[in-house]
Amino acid sequence: RFDPSQKIPAIGPSAPLLSYIGAYRYFRHAQDMLQKGYTKYRGSVFRVPLLDQWVVVVSGAKMNEELWRIPDDKMSFLAAAQDFIQTKYTIAPLLDQLPIHVKVMREQLTRNLGVLLPGVLDEIHAAFNEIIPTLGNEWVSISGLPVMTHIIARVSNRAFVGLPICRDSDYLDVAMKFPMDVMKGKSILSIVPKSLKAVVGPCLPWSRRALRCFSAHLKPVIAERQRLLQELGEDWTDKPIDMLMWLIEEAPSMEQSVDLIVQSILSSNFASTHTSSISLTHALYHLAGSPEYMHPLREEIENVLKVKGWTKDALSNMWRLDSFLRESQRLNGVSGMSVMRKALKDVTLSDGTYIPTGTMVYAAATATHRDPDNYDNPDMFDPFRFSDAKESENDRIKQQYVSTSPDYIPFGHGKHACPGRFFASHELKAILAHIVLNYDLQFEGGGGRPENLWLGTGILPAPNAKIMFRNRQTSDA
Ligand code: HEM
């Protein structure tokens, strides 16, 4: 009763004990509850119940902007991630203090997209040939989400750790399962009292198991690369170009530097595998459900490739493909929430709302993306809305897949916006271009795109849907 955050309007029952019913309802109906709060409290805030705490949600693009502008020492992304995911226990213990992977993603990974592209393309070809072995004009049926997850894990790890580890089934199994294991650990810790988290956290098995597997694969490679780096220095002419190498160069010299590098690779897999595979599958389902989009995409991709070949520049000039991905991400997305922050100090927002220290605050991503004030016909999938009829190159760039704004927040916004989004954009465009150029698609049993599944605030493209692939039959759609 004396908690000042009780004054913030709640969606669902807020009385003690009854709020647990609200938390259960929120897990089952997060989309409806977030939309209800967004519509009712637009321009202000509301709160929704989790099992262990209330979470404050800012409502509307203006409030999204205000949230990301609050400095880190008052509203912290890192503290929010630690609190929400319990990263120390569920992912890896060293990264809270030394997030070298984030620096490497922002700098080396993003700067070297063009250099990494030939390897990424090679892995895409090899993965599709092995995992979706189409022959002649026969249709091959695959489970959409698991197969796209497998392909993403392989292709991303080609850029993260290179051959042959990126094809190792034991390593890939862990890379693919790990995000779910993190969620299991996080859910268990969310019902453990704060005072016991430090006791229960280290007993959770999943992070230790994953680190054991990654260590077995990566430590010998790291040791060999460290040796060569020391011996050859600047004269190492065929030094590998991948994230593992940049992490080796970036890691501070300390006793645990090899562990830090392994943990950074595991954490990068956590951050990238499911976010990218869910985003790819959402787009794939739009393609399979509406094959009429194949023609304009094929036309664009073929025209661009004729002039520029398979280069970074070519991918950057595939505006329709870019718009297709952005529109799919706007309408679907990976999570109903984004721009997560934790108040490290008491904060008063511009509408007068008082947020006490320790409160978790988010922006409502799906509701923002389906707000008619932000988008015309917001519930309609209009794949080329960001590429068609753009007056200038500048307009296009402002509305490209990777560009965030207060009304487009699938990658967050501001200082902590996803540092892997430039890599994700190139990877997803290269994979979709490969699919569009080489295959015909349809859902098994025909029909349109199935409904997404919301689990809490997580959004999955129908996990059991099957997609049929066949070698492209015509030179055009
Ligand atoms: C389409 C795929 C992806 C989506 C939708 C996505 C989305 C996000 C979101 C919403 C955040 C939090 C931003 C915030 O709350 O302000 C984030 C953070 C992050 N993402 Fe991504 N991401 C994707 C792909 C990737 C990839 C491929 C990588 C790695 C190469 C990556 C690495 C990270 C990291 C390390 C962070 C934490 C940043 C920090 O600590 O400041 N993400 N991502």
How many angstroms separate the CA atoms of 86 and 188, rounded? 10
Q: Is the CB of 338 under 6 A from ligand 1?
A: yes
pLDDT at 124: 98
- Amino acid at position 228, single letter: L
> What is the rounded average pLDDT of the residues 313-323?
96
Provide the residue ranges of all domains of the chain, joining segments of one domain with +: 91-334+372-406+410-471
> What is the rounded average pLDDT of the residues 260-281?
97
Segment 408-463, tens digit of pLDDT: 999 999 889 999 999 999 999 999 999 999 999 999 988 899 999 999 999 999 99
* Residue from 64, 113, 275 to probe ligand 1 pocket by mutation (most atoms less than 8 Å from CB): 275
Q: Is the CB of 162 under 6 A from ligand 1?
A: no
How many angstroms separate the CA atoms of 354 and 348, rounded? 4
Cα Rg of the chain (Å, integer): 23
Secondary structure class of 343 (helix, strand, coil): strand
| Residue 136 region by backbone torsions, left for phi larger than 0, else alpha for psi between -120 and 50, else beta | left
Is residue 283 over pLDDT 60?
yes
Q: Is the CB of 79 under 6 A from ligand 1?
A: no
- Ligand 1 centroid – CA 281 distance (Å): 17
pLDDT at 471: 96
Range 116-144 burial, b when 16+ CB lie within 10 A, else e:
bbebbbebbebbbeeebebeeeeeeebeb
Bridge-based pairing of strands 54-58 and 360-364 is parallel
pLDDT at 51: 84
Is 326:386 a contact under the CB 8 Å cutoff? yes
- Ligand 1 centroid – CA 84 distance (Å): 15
Q: Is the CB of 336 under 6 A from ligand 1?
A: no
Q: What is the DSSP letter of 166?
A: G
Secondary structure class of 291 (helix, strand, coil): helix
- The per-residue DSSP string of 36-91 comes to HHHHHTTTSEEEEE-SS-EEEEE-SHHHHHHHHHS-TTTEEHHHHHHHHH-HHHHT
pLDDT at 477: 46
Secondary structure class of 439 (helix, strand, coil): strand
- Ligand 1 centroid – CA 267 distance (Å): 11
- State the closest ligand 1 atom to the C-alpha of 414, by its place in the atom list counted from 1: 16
Termini Cα distance of the chain: 63
Secondary structure class of 378 (helix, strand, coil): coil
Residue nearest to atom 39 of ligand 1 (CA): 416
Q: What percent of the chain has pLDDT over 90?
A: 85
- Ligand 1 centroid – CA 412 distance (Å): 8
Segment 335-370, tens digit of pLDDT: 999 999 999 999 999 999 999 999 999 999 999 999
Is 86:342 a contact under the CB 8 Å cutoff? no
- State the closest ligand 1 atom to the C-alpha of 267, by its place in the atom list counted from 1: 35
- State the closest ligand 1 atom to the C-alpha of 329, by its place in the atom list counted from 1: 5
Q: Give, in order, the Cα–Cα distances in Å from 447 to each of 105, 179, 333, 464, 477.
A: 40, 31, 22, 14, 18
**CA 127-131-136 angle, 5° bins:** 105
Is 189:200 a contact under the CB 8 Å cutoff? yes
- Ligand 1 centroid – CA 99 distance (Å): 13
- Ligand 1 centroid – CA 276 distance (Å): 9
- Ligand 1 centroid – CA 373 distance (Å): 26
Q: Is the CB of 412 under 6 A from ligand 1?
A: yes
Q: Is the CB of 210 under 6 A from ligand 1?
A: no
Length of the chain: 477
* Average confidence score pLDDT of the chain: 94
Residue nearest to atom 6 of ligand 1 (CA): 411
Residue nearest to atom 18 of ligand 1 (CA): 418
pLDDT at 475: 62
Question: Of 123 and 23, which is predicted with more confidence?
Answer: 123
Q: Is the CB of 160 under 6 A from ligand 1?
A: no
* Residue from 418, 423, 425 to probe ligand 1 pocket by mutation (most atoms less than 8 Å from CB): 418
Question: Of 311 and 12, which is predicted with more confidence?
Answer: 311
- The per-residue DSSP string of 112-146 comes to THHHHHHHHHHHHHHHHHHHS---TT--EEEEHHH
Extract the tokens encoding 240.
């590998």
> What is the rounded average pLDDT of the residues 171-182?
96
- Ligand 1 centroid – CA 410 distance (Å): 9
Say whether 203 counts as a known binding-site residue: no
- State the closest ligand 1 atom to the C-alpha of 335, by its place in the atom list counted from 1: 10
CA-nearest of 429, 139, 418 to 283 is 429
Q: Is the CB of 401 under 6 A from ligand 1?
A: no
What pTM does this model have?
A: 0.96
Is residue 122 over pLDDT 90?
yes
Q: Is the CB of 452 under 6 A from ligand 1?
A: no
Under CATH, what is the fold of the domain 91-334+372-406+410-471?
Cytochrome p450 (1.10.630)
| pLDDT category of residue 389 using cuts at 50, 70 and 90 | low
Q: Give, in order, the Cα–Cα distances in Å from 224 to each of 161, 216, 227, 228, 248.
A: 14, 14, 5, 6, 11
Q: Which of 73-82, 243-252, 389-398, 447-456 has the lowest mean pLDDT?
A: 389-398
- State the closest ligand 1 atom to the C-alpha of 109, by its place in the atom list counted from 1: 30
- Ligand 1 centroid – CA 280 distance (Å): 15
Is residue 308 over pLDDT 70?
yes
Q: Is the ipTM of this complex over 0.95?
A: yes
Residue nearest to atom 37 of ligand 1 (CA): 418
- State the closest ligand 1 atom to the C-alpha of 427, by its place in the atom list counted from 1: 27
Residue nearest to atom 7 of ligand 1 (CA): 411
